[in-house]
Structure 1
Amino acid sequence: MTELSPTQKTVQRRSKPGAWRISDIIDSRNLRVQLTAAHMDHANDRTKARQRVIDLLHGALFRGRMIAQERLEAGADGLDTANLLSAVMDEVLHALYDYTTVHVIRANNPTMGERMAVMAVGGYGRCALAPSSDVDLLFVRTYKQTAWAESVIEFMLYALWDLGLKVGHAFRTIDECIRLSKEDYTIRTAILDKRLLFGDKDVAKELDDRFDKDIVEGRAAEFVQAKLEERDRRVSREGSSRFRVEPNVKESKGGLRDLQTLFWLAKYIHGGSNFNGVLKNHVFSKSDAAIFRREARFLWTVRCHLHYVAGRAEDRLSFDLQPEIASRMGFVDKAGMSGVERFMKRYFLAAKEVGALTRILCAKLEAIEQKKPSGLLRFMPAPVPKLLDDKRFVLDAGRVSYASADAVKDDPLNLFRLFKVADKGGYDIHPNAIANARENLKELKVSYRKDPEAQELFIDVVTSKHHPGTTLKIMNETGVLGHFLPEFGRIVGQTQFNMYHHYTVDEHTIRAVEAMNDIERHVLVSEHPLATEIFPKVQHRRALYLAMLLHDTGKGQGDQQIEGAKTARGACLRLGMEPEEAELVAWLVGNHLEMSDTAQRRDISDPRTVSTFAKKVGTVERLRLLLILTVCDIRAVGPGVWNSWKGQLLRELYYATEAALRGGRADEVSVQAQIAKRATLGREALFEKIGKLPASFENLEDAYWISFETDVQAWHAETITASGGETTSAARIEKELSATQVLVFADDRARLYADLCKVLTSAGADILSARLFSTGNDKVLDVFEIQTSSGEPFCEGDPERLKFLTTALQAVAAGEKPEHELADDNFKASRRQAAFIVEPVVSIDKKASDNAIVLELSGRNRQGLMQEIANVFVNQGLSIQSAHAESYGMLVHDVFYVEAQGEDVLDEALLTKELLEVLRRGDLEAPRTPARALKRAKTSENR
């Protein structure tokens, strides 16, 4: 629930909806007297009279809005604020209408054609107006347009625009309203929310009667279908998940629009004139109505704060706004979580509740309408649900449900049996069954966590070969998953305040399980060939699935791998697993980041890297399990996070480690021997392919021959041969790796790498990796893999720009000035990125490699960073062997293998100081966010 300060809690209790009176905010009588006085004072100057009227109305509107904002900031909820803003708008509009029709365009004896009703529609019609929302008005007339009505509308609209309001308006006859409602469901929905503001009551009543008779009666089924299809399209546009970490409070799944859809459907089918009236109809149970009210108030509170903070109609809860909204709503740092993370967890718990309510009630309303017989069928008995083989369950309209409403009360294990039956039969679950599960969750006592049958049922569902992810989502919605497995319950709705993760921790976890199941069923062969190939060889399938389900349960409790291993071990033992299997799950969870870290942050051509990793893994079986777990974990982070480059690195590490483990020896000498053997095979394969190797290839170290495929090596050799052994540069798109590979062959010199980085980063390229090889005779072969900031091959589809890039690199390598400048000014920190203050980290490891010093740096990503780091290395007398870059949204994590030149002794303190200064420069240059509460993000917490 929302955490408020004691003062805010006191104010909130005093500021309950209905605690205000509009007469205390706007004195309607006095306002009209002032408007009349303005007209009389400037009777001979309509321009001055109009300006005075605008000033008076603006003052009343401003006062009302300020009071609404003050109440909100003092703790009043957002729905109360929206109601107050709507009431203020009612008073201002009514005063303007009276002034217009009495003093400006008066109709002394109105004809039938001059009868008009002014109605609020849309959200304003529901008496819910957000601070910066449009004011939607419908001017209704009985006959064709008259000069009087046209003049009244024109005067009012221009006045409203002068007040700075965004006004949506339509001027229609009753017949036009009915006709357009039949043709357009958006118009039908808007008119469904109609509310008379002022004007002719008879005209408004006639529209009400015609709308009910011609539009509502007998058309509920088509309206339900249309609104559900509309919802599906909206959800698809917003990403099909209610757990995206920058949600749209209004449009995202689980947001206000879902609640509005429920409201419309219930009102259309069962009636109700206002918010409370609709919630009292029999579609909503008492608990459903309570959930609806509670979450509507919370989401409206978030939305109103958003509008005030942004100063516009902003409904996207972006990273730069989240800390400020959290602060305004009273969320503070507590129990290892920042205030903003606690606020977002509350938001996602609300979205979860709205999602469950929507799923249940929409499906219920749809089923009710579909079951209503038409024609002669209405005299036939309704179809009876079909009993399944397990007599405790029935198939109702293709959905599995309980045969008895008391099924869960009679036997709480029927909660799990429901999910197992649905999963095994491939059935959807009936909304009545979901509602039953939610309402009777308390029947599943804590003691059932140790019940052998409950444990078996639960594990069967989690490790199903059908579609466990689908079932787990429903289990999560109903609360069964978190209730039975409290370790998972702690991460429900949990977020990490960074730009890397796209979903909440629970949503990410379930998506990872889905990905694992897809790999097992050979659905993702083209994207994950190795994981698909080795899955049938896995001997501990159950442990793998449970490790995936539990892999992030340590987040928010310290070191996520250490804490996760503890929680996973405890959960597995409680689930009745044997200690050996529980230890395997704990090991996988405790090491689930190791393979990705090693592959992406270490030089996997270095024998010590492979040896160290192989010793940690221990067996080929663990290696297989870890590879699959790693692939699914990365894939489930969000769209675009997985790419072929990461896949290639993981495959290289897997094959090198597997060879070491199969050989029975994982020591460095044995690994070096294997690398030498692979290098010999690589040389032979290239010789066979091209016939003759360039002289510069004779002295290339083993690392080169195991780092690239033969086709790539052939391209390198042909490029160097064509240059006659002179300085050259070339590039080509590697679509399979989602990267562009660039090679530079040149004379070695001190600042060569830094100068090349300057050209690449100035052009806007992200350097994924750089591998530097000596070819003898003071020549070097540098190979870069580069991407765009969005993870695409750099310059893909732009061969001319790629040519300019290689020309510039060749010129710089030769010590000349490039003919073409490729500066990219688009790489700037956004306000979203500026919401994060990144704590830079530098570590120096002299034991990770025999031949190099390993430097790890993390900080804010920005243009030119790699070049500045390279300059520091040059100044410190360090030469670079290889570089490996990894980005997490606004964060970058770079690893360099360097060696000291000559007999210089490395000054670690000075090197660290200079590197930290470079990394901190990114935060100093970033635009500041207006947020009052900022999270200091550390790289270790953002993975």
Structure 2
Amino acid sequence: MPTSIQGAQNEEIFLFDNDCFTEELQSSTSPLAVYKNTLQEGTRVLNDAFDSGRDVVELVHKRAEFIDQLLIHAWQSMISCEDLALVAVGGYGRGELHPASDIDLMILEKSRSNKTTNQQIQQFLTFLWDIGLEVGQSVRTVKDCIAEGRADITVATNIMEARLLVGDTVLFDSMRKMTGPNKIWPTRKFFKAKLQEQVERHKKYANTEHSLEPNIKESPGGLRDIQMIGWVAKRHFAVKSLHDLVKHDFLTEEEYLRLKAGQTFLWRIRYALHNLTGRHDDRLLFDRQRHIAEIFGFHAEDNSGVEQFMKFYYRMVRELNRLNEMLLQHFQEEIIYATRREKIKPINKRFQIRNDFIEVCHDQVFKWYPFALLEIFLLIQQTPKIKGIRASTIRLIREYYYLIDDEFRNDIRNKSLFMEIIRQPRYVGHELRRMHRYGILSRYLPAFGQIEGQMQFDLFHVYSVDEHILFVIQNMRHFGLPEYANTYPLCQKILKTLPKQELLYLAGLFHDIAKGRKGDHAKLGVKDAVDFCKLHGLSSYDAELVGWMVGNHLILSKTAQREDINDPDVINKFAVQMGDREHLNYLYLLTVADVNGTNPELWNAWKDSLFSQLYNETTRALRRGLENPFNKEDRIKKTKHAALALVNKRTKSKFDVGQHWASLGEDYFIRYSPDEIAWHTNAIAENSKQQYPLIKVRQQATRGGTEIFVYMENQDNIFATTTRVLDQLGLTIVDARVISSTHGYTLDTYIVLDKSGEALKEKKFREDIVIKLDDALANLEQHFKIVSRPRSRKQKVFPIQTRVLFSQDEVNQRTIMEVVASDRPGFLSQVGVALAGCNVRLHGAKIATYGSRVEDIFFITDKQDQPITDPDKFESLTNFIIETLS
């Protein structure tokens, strides 16, 4: 039987034969089956061609041509009215279709269609869906196109790319004429609207092309940025292709080739993503990156293949982002400023300001004065009215940045200029980012170039290493801005005390610069930082301070999140590590900036309270003097006195507070604040009927989350059951403390956050927690069970081998158990089961999750409250935990 599909032949992919297709339709009793089979077979041929390495540009256009033929056939067989036109719009209008791209159609009608024609249109669209096409459609008159296009820039843009498939040519030409730039959206207005659209889109993606899971279409430097150039060029110059911009002197031939190479690269990724997922999804997610990397020839058993591929990706989209910026600047000069009288203000013999944008005075500036490659960024910082760099000067920066070599780096003038940039009171982060975008930062600081596009294989970081560093410095700048006063109140206060803020920025610049090298990146980065500082004229003290921050940039975060910072011994030890308040102040600001630059979603009120508590306690310890450390007895005495003052009068008159407190031991008064102790005491005293379990929830704990208090007779699996219930409610447990009384009761507190990392706001939700916990804990035997839920997509990508480590807390007579494993739903509950199964008593937990990795600390003893020292017990506990978690 004749077929309408031909396989990929040597030189040409032949997809559709009109005569064969018509013959198949005539001989078949089911036209729908013929269309469906033809579509499926054509898609298979194209996909096979892609897998065999055929040019993706050819395939994208071939698919559009193939779909054209199917639609034209269907239209001609189903639509009888001649006053209609079938029009391709959007990407399909450009003749570009990826495997799962929407097929955007506009049915253009001369006037409102009658009932019969409307029925035919509906049957036609339904038929397209039935054969397996994802269609986006609109039905409009020319008048509709004018009105809707005028009201919505997106509609105007779609119509601008309209392409007639079949139907009334005169009607189509009329629509094109009536929606042109001389009728709606004149070039100037169109450009401003599209530019604002891009600004908002980039903002949605944090203004970075270096997300670890980028959207290859919408992120900065993505396909949408290339389309943006095409839209403006088409509107202003009426060009048909990007290459026409070369004729208009807007692009050099070399820049055009880079733009096309970038588009082809992204098209190839997109084609592969659509094939891989079977749907329209343009996100380059972790679990897809290895597959895509292998298509591009990056093969490796470990992550190195993905790492190399993503480095290539980041460099490509950075170049596309730069070309987008340069061309839009060109358009701005041509469209916005063309009718204005030029205002030129000289700065010096090298630079001048033209219409608020800085430019070189002549094309040889960078060749004759290489230091100007740094000077231009300093001038932008020092001149608030400068809005950016003119396109021609951006091009020259890229042409001459090769002049930055060892001789350039060792020139005293250039070293001074760089330090001036770092010392400026404004736009430090902004200009470092611009320097990076144009390739200057990586040339001046080769170690920074080595981490450009460096992946970080976890769910903790959301940016590549170089982009993370730039965000850290940006966060440091935020500490000094009034609009961030409520977000970082303590940071703003500390920043004002720093004698040299540039030391903080240098530490931010170098803190992760050694990532990707073998060894401890913090220690390796110290030498880079100290050498750089000394080379740039800093004193030995300042250089060593920057090196100290780089080498110790992780310890404040780890201490706050992994150790019991209510313990005076922990505070004293940390104070010794700091040495003085100056080192503490610098490190605190670096740490907060680092955490926020790692993943903005990780910073919340709970983490803020932890870091602030550690900072304030350490400040007090340093003020007392390292030779005069905190005394536990004094701390307990002061806590009791303060707590008693907060206990209400009714409790004091009807309840033996002293006896109750004595049953809880001294540890209770170290691990809890006076406010928490008073809350517990009042709740227990008011439980006159002694109904247990006693469960209370506070909306906002003093420690930055919602606090849950459980008091009941001690039994196995209380911790496991409580954490299971809280996990099922979608809550994140960030802290757990357990106190066992001599009366056989357990006093447990949990601090929880909602999915957005905040305390629970809804009263009904808090009441629901009490009900569910009461039901589960009152009937432990009936309700106890391990609930296993599927891991998320991201959690599956980063499997981590479970490790259990033990150490001893000699001072507090407890064993410290650290569990390192992949994060998963119900993790704490499963550990609780293992502890109960091994007859181990839990006294508290420090819960730290780093993306896909948990590093939780559990303070445990045996049932007699003695530390565990038996190696056999360690082995059985380790095996039980690993087995339970598996």
TM score, norm. by length of structure 2: 0.89
Query: In 2 relative to 1, CA 532–697 (structure 1 residues): closer, same or farther, beyond 3 Å?
Result: farther
CA offsets 1:639-689 (integer angstroms, 9 cap, x no match): 3211122222222222333344444436xxx5452x432332222222334
- Could you tell me which runs of 5 or more consecutive residues in structure 2 were left unpaired when the two chains were aligned: 1-7
Q: Does 2:266 match 1:299?
A: yes
Question: For residues 422 and 69 of structure 1, what CA distance do their matches in structure 2 show?
Answer: 50
Selected match of 1:688 from 645, 648, 651:
645
Question: For residues 24 and 75 of structure 2, what CA distance do their matches in structure 1 show?
Answer: 16
Which letter maps to 1:265?
V
Structure 2 residue aligned with 1:408: 366
CA offsets 1:184-205 (integer angstroms, 9 cap, x no match): 4223212322334445656655
Structure 2 residue aligned with 1:4: none
Q: How does 1:55-454 map to 2 (within 5 A)?
A: 55-96=33-74, 100=77, 114=82, 118-140=86-108, 156-172=124-140, 177-178=145-146, 180-199=148-167, 208=176, 212=180, 214-215=182-183, 219-277=186-244, 280-333=247-300, 337-373=303-339, 382-388=341-347, 390-426=348-384, 427-432=386-391, 433-454=393-414
Q: How does 1:696-715 map to 2 (within 5 A)?
A: 696-698=660-662, 701=665, 703-715=667-679
Structure 1 residue aligned with 2:486: 526
Does the 8 Å contact 1:77/1:300 carry over to 2? no
Q: How does 1:859-898 map to 2 (within 5 A)?
A: 859-898=821-860
Question: For residues 558 and 315 of structure 2, what CA distance do their matches in structure 1 show?
Answer: 32
SS in 2 for 1:687: helix
Does the 8 Å contact 2:25/2:34 carry over to 1? no
SS in 2 for 1:25: coil
Selected match of 1:773 from 727, 732, 739:
739
Q: How does 1:646-665 map to 2 (within 5 A)?
A: 646-665=607-626
SS in 2 for 1:492: coil
Which letter maps to 1:631?
V
Does the 8 Å contact 2:153/2:190 carry over to 1? yes
Question: For residues 295 and 879 of structure 1, what CA distance do their matches in structure 2 show?
Answer: 59
Quote the offset at 1:883 in angstroms: 0.8
Range with greater deviation from structure 2 (447-456 or 391-400): 391-400
Query: In 2 relative to 1, CA 450–337 (structure 1 residues): closer, same or farther, beyond 3 Å?
Result: farther
Quote the offset at 1:598 in angstroms: 0.9
Structure 1 residue aligned with 2:501: 541
Q: Does 2:3 match 1:25?
A: no
Which letter maps to 2:402?
K
Does the 8 Å contact 1:879/1:899 carry over to 2? yes
Structure 2 residue aligned with 1:911: 874
Question: For residues 393 and 282 of structure 1, what CA distance do their matches in structure 2 show?
Answer: 23
CA offsets 1:165-222 (integer angstroms, 9 cap, x no match): 1223445555654555444422321232233444565665555555557448x92101
Which letter maps to 1:870?
G
Q: How does 1:570-609 map to 2 (within 5 A)?
A: 570-609=531-570
Query: In 2 relative to 1, CA 712–20 (structure 1 residues): closer, same or farther, beyond 3 Å?
Result: farther
Selected match of 1:631 from 574, 589, 592:
592
SS in 2 for 1:537: coil
Does the 8 Å contact 1:634/1:642 carry over to 2? yes
Range with greater deviation from structure 2 (911-920 or 780-789): 911-920
Query: In 2 relative to 1, CA 401–915 (structure 1 residues): closer, same or farther, beyond 3 Å?
Result: farther
CA offsets 1:41-73 (integer angstroms, 9 cap, x no match): 47xxxxx2xx2x444444443333223222322
Structure 2 residue aligned with 1:791: 757
Does the 8 Å contact 1:596/1:650 carry over to 2? yes
Quote the offset at 1:131 in angstroms: 0.7
SS in 2 for 1:440: helix
SS in 2 for 1:781: strand
Question: For residues 549 and 303 of structure 1, what CA distance do their matches in structure 2 show?
Answer: 34
Structure 1 residue aligned with 2:3: none
Does the 8 Å contact 1:774/1:780 carry over to 2? yes
Query: In 2 relative to 1, CA 809–155 (structure 1 residues): closer, same or farther, beyond 3 Å?
Result: closer
Structure 1 residue aligned with 2:792: 830
SS in 2 for 1:846: strand
Query: In 2 relative to 1, CA 439–115 (structure 1 residues): closer, same or farther, beyond 3 Å?
Result: farther
Structure 2 residue aligned with 1:935: none
Q: Does 2:731 match 1:731?
A: no
Question: For residues 133 and 635 of structure 1, what CA distance do their matches in structure 2 show?
Answer: 36
Q: Does 2:799 match 1:840?
A: no
Of structures 1 and 2, the one scoring higher in RCO (CA 8 A, sep 6+) is: 1
Query: In 2 relative to 1, CA 105–556 (structure 1 residues): closer, same or farther, beyond 3 Å?
Result: closer
Query: In 2 relative to 1, CA 764–164 (structure 1 residues): closer, same or farther, beyond 3 Å?
Result: closer
Question: For residues 628 and 361 of structure 1, what CA distance do their matches in structure 2 show?
Answer: 38
Which letter maps to 1:595?
L
Quote the offset at 1:784 in angstroms: 1.8
Query: In 2 relative to 1, CA 766–149 (structure 1 residues): closer, same or farther, beyond 3 Å?
Result: closer
SS in 1 for 2:559: helix
Quote the offset at 1:920 in angstroms: 6.7
Quote the offset at 1:548 in angstroms: 0.8
SS in 1 for 2:747: strand
Which letter maps to 1:405?
D
Question: For residues 729 and 454 of structure 2, what CA distance do their matches in structure 1 show?
Answer: 38
Aligned residues: 866
Which letter maps to 1:861?
D
Does the 8 Å contact 1:748/1:779 carry over to 2? yes
SS in 2 for 1:553: coil
Query: In 2 relative to 1, CA 67–806 (structure 1 residues): closer, same or farther, beyond 3 Å?
Result: same
Query: In 2 relative to 1, CA 550–57 (structure 1 residues): closer, same or farther, beyond 3 Å?
Result: same
TM score, norm. by length of structure 1: 0.84
Structure 2 residue aligned with 1:491: 451
SS in 2 for 1:32: helix
SS in 2 for 1:854: strand
Structure 2 residue aligned with 1:676: 633
Which letter maps to 1:446?
D
Does the 8 Å contact 2:209/2:220 carry over to 1? yes
Query: In 2 relative to 1, CA 117–524 (structure 1 residues): closer, same or farther, beyond 3 Å?
Result: closer
Range with greater deviation from structure 2 (866-875 or 597-606): 866-875
Quote the offset at 1:280 in angstroms: 4.7
- Could you tell me which runs of 5 or more consecutive residues in structure 1 were left unpaired when the two chains were aligned: 1-17, 43-47, 107-112, 925-943
Question: For residues 110 and 419 of structure 2, what CA distance do their matches in structure 1 show?
Answer: 66
Question: For residues 151 and 773 of structure 1, what CA distance do their matches in structure 2 show?
Answer: 74
Query: In 2 relative to 1, CA 361–817 (structure 1 residues): closer, same or farther, beyond 3 Å?
Result: same
Quote the offset at 1:318 in angstroms: 2.7
Which letter maps to 2:659?
A
Does the 8 Å contact 2:460/2:851 carry over to 1? yes
Question: For residues 207 and 749 of structure 1, what CA distance do their matches in structure 2 show?
Answer: 78
Question: For residues 361 and 826 of structure 1, what CA distance do their matches in structure 2 show?
Answer: 53
Which letter maps to 1:75?
G
SS in 1 for 2:735: strand
Query: In 2 relative to 1, CA 522–92 (structure 1 residues): closer, same or farther, beyond 3 Å?
Result: closer
Question: For residues 743 and 192 of structure 2, what CA distance do their matches in structure 1 show?
Answer: 75
Quote the offset at 1:878 in angstroms: 2.9
The alignment-based identity, stated in percent, is 27
SS in 2 for 1:70: helix
